[in-house]
Structure formats: structure tokens, C-alpha cells
């Protein structure tokens, strides 16, 4: 066993003395672009496995995972139970929710996938029902900074710098892009002026685990105030999976009926948030592949561009944004 794994087991047995004599197999869990490390501790004496998360302070949202877990548990959301927490050593021991995520069903028939997506939307509805005005002043300290015009602008600049400029090599400051920049300005002001609720921030298929017929959430340390439609767009325009236009509409209607929302209003804001989210994703894919040594993220760019093009056609307010990426990627 590698020394690192032995050290992790020593820390684990300090937290759980009853496991001092139990043999254990340590399995590395490879997950996404995070700077956190995950290990599955498979106990050989028949005890249930657990997951150990080791994080750093390099990202400001990493320490927010435990308080976010407790907050989501209080409202009845399906999240992993925190079994132990060592704040000094930056270690969290979690209930093992298994290996099956929503993404793994991508090639299954829609009849199989649809109820899983509906279960996922039911989980989203739980925290989306928590509005900004229902929170106490102290609650905001446990959350990440809310979506506001500055954060929306940061995401847009991330898209411009890394994808439009870095990946496509376009001089996006030229006059030919003036109308596109104005569309971005109007978009961020429009979204910033809308009421906010709790949002996951990275609500995509790899951050939803499936147990039986239920959906369970992970990677929600970015919990903050924002628009529910941003999460819906993250899930329904997820570049990692294939959803048809009809399937997206069915799921969006399911969510609207579940929460008693006006369909036209939801759909309009959904497309605006989808453009915002997809621009953020394209900036991330370009940055991860070009600057952070993770070239496999390039494979997701065509799907994200295709989704963004579709969204920009759906909403007249977004038409001019196409100038940034039309003509190849």
C-alpha cells in the first residue's frame, strides 16, 4: 500500500477507533477538474465503505462543502451524510453513495433516462424553493457570493478571454463585436435584476449520483443565491450528454408543473441562463485544456458550441452573441 494511503488510514482510524483492526482497501476516485482528492475506503470485514475527501484551501469554496451539506440536509435534499470532519487536516469522511452517476445513463433509452432526470429535478426544486428573503443574515456567511452583475460579467469575460480569444484566436475587442458586447451587457443586467434562490452552480450530470430510483447531489460546495434557471440550464444543456430539443422541453415542463411556474416566463429566462452557463462552460473547457494540462476537455467544446448556437436562436436578445463563435471552433 502506498505511504499516502497508509497515512489516510491512520487518520481514518483516529476518527473511527472501532476500525483500528479492520483491513481496508483504498481506492482512488478520479473525479473531474477539482483540486480535491477522493478515496473510497473499502473495509474487508463487511462494514459499509465510506468516501474520504481531502481538500485544499486553494479554492475559496472548498471549505464550504460541510456547511452546504448540513444546509441541504435540513431541507430534505439527498446529499451524502458527513460521518466525520477534521477541519485542521482538511479531511471529510462521507457516506458512500456508489459509483453510478446520471451521466452513465447517456446511451440508455429515453424511457430509462426520463424518470432519472425527473428525480433530479425534484431534488433541484427542494433548494430552489429557498428564496433570498427566507434566509437569515447569518446564513449568507455559509454560502458563496451570490450571482450578481459582477459575477455574470466575470463568467462572460472568462468566455471571452479563454474561448473566444485563447481558443478561437479572435480579437474580440474590435468594433465588429460591438453589438455582441452590448448583448452581453444587457444579458448580465437582465439576469442580475431578477429574484434569487439557492442554486447548486454546477448542476450537471456527473454531479448527480443515482441510487435505485433516487437522485443524490454531490459537488455543491458552490451553493449560493442565483436563478433556478441557471441550474436547469446546467442540467438540460449539459455538453456531456445528449438531450434532444423535445426531451429538454418535456423536462422543463415537468419542472414548471412541479413548482407551479408560468411556462412562458420560465422558458424565456431559461434560455438567457443557458447562454450564460454555456459561455462559462466554454471558458472552462478552453482554460482547462490550454492552460491546465487537461486536453480531454477539448472534446466537449463542439457540443457546447452547438448548444449555445441553439440557445442564441431561441431568444432574440441573444442573436448578436453568435458573432463571437460563428464560423468555426
> SS3 for 37?
strand
Domains of the chain (ranges; CATH) run: 3-95 (3.30.200.20), 102-324 (3.90.1200.10)
pLDDT in tens, 203-259: 999 999 999 999 999 999 999 999 999 999 999 999 999 999 999 999 999 999 999
- pLDDT for 203: 98
pLDDT in tens, 14-43: 999 999 989 999 999 987 657 899 999 999
- pLDDT for 245: 95
- pLDDT for 140: 83
- pLDDT for 328: 56
Question: Within the chain, which residues score under 70 in pLDDT?
Answer: 32-33, 328-329
In the block, which residue shows the cell 424553493? 129
- pLDDT for 32: 63
Contacts of residue 309, Cβ cutoff 8 Å, sequence gap at least 6: 322, 325, 326
- pLDDT for 2: 85
* Angle at 288 (CA atoms; ends 287, 293), nearest 5 degrees: 120
Amino acid at each position: 500500500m502506498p505511504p499516502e494511503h497508509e497515512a489516510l488510514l491512520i487518520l481514518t482510524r483516529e476518527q473511527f477507533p472501532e476500525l483500528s483492526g479492520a483491513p481496508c482497501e483504498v481506492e482512488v476516485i478520479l473525479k473531474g477538474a477539482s483540486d480535491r482528492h477522493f478515496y473510497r475506503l473499502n473495509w474487508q470485514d463487511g462494514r459499509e465503505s465510506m468516501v474520504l475527501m481531502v481538500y485544499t484551501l486553494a479554492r475559496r469554496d472548498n471549505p464550504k462543502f460541510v456547511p452546504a451539506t448540513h444546509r441541504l440536509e435540513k431541507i430534505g435534499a439527498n446529499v451524502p451524510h458527513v460521518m466525520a470532519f477534521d477541519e485542521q487536516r482538511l479531511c471529510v469522511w462521507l457516506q458512500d453513495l456508489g459509483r453510478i452517476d446520471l451521466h452513465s445513463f447517456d446511451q440508455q433509452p429515453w424511457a430509462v433516462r426520463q424518470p432519472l432526470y425527473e428525480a433530479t429535478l425534484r431534488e433541484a426544486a427542494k433548494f430552489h424553493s429557498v428564496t433570498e428573503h427566507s434566509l437569515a443574515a447569518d446564513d449568507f456567511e455559509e454560502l458563496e457570493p451570490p450571482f450578481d452583475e459582477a459575477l455574470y460579467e466575470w463568467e462572460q469575460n472568462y468566455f471571452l478571454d479563454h474561448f473566444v480569444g485563447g481558443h478561437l484566436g479572435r480579437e474580440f475587442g474590435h468594433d465588429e463585436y460591438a453589438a455582441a458586447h452590448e448583448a452581453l451587457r444587457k444579458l448580465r443586467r437582465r439576469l442580475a435584476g431578477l429574484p434569487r434562490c439557492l442554486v447548486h452552480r454546477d448542476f450537471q450530470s456527473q454531479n448527480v449520483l443515482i441510487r435505485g430510483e433516487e437522485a443524490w447531489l454531490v459537488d455543491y460546495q458552490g451553493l449560493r443565491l442565483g436563478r433556478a434557471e441557471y441550474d436547469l440550464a446546467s442540467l438540460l444543456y449539459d455538453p456531456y450528454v445528449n438531450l434532444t430539443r423535445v426531451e429538454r422541453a418535456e423536462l422543463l415542463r415537468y419542472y414548471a408543473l412541479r413548482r407551479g411556474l408560468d411556462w412562458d416566463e420560465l422558458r424565456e429566462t431559461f434560455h438567457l441562463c443557458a447562454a450564460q452557463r454555456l459561455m462559462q462552460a466554454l471558458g472552462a473547457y478552453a482554460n482547462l485544456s490550454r492552460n491546465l494540462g487537461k486536453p480531454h476537455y477539448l472534446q466537449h467544446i463542439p457540443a457546447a458550441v452547438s448548444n449555445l448556437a441553439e440557445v442564441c436562436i431561441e431568444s432574440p436578445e441573444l442573436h448578436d452573441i453568435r458573432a463571437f463563435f460563428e464560423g468555426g471552433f
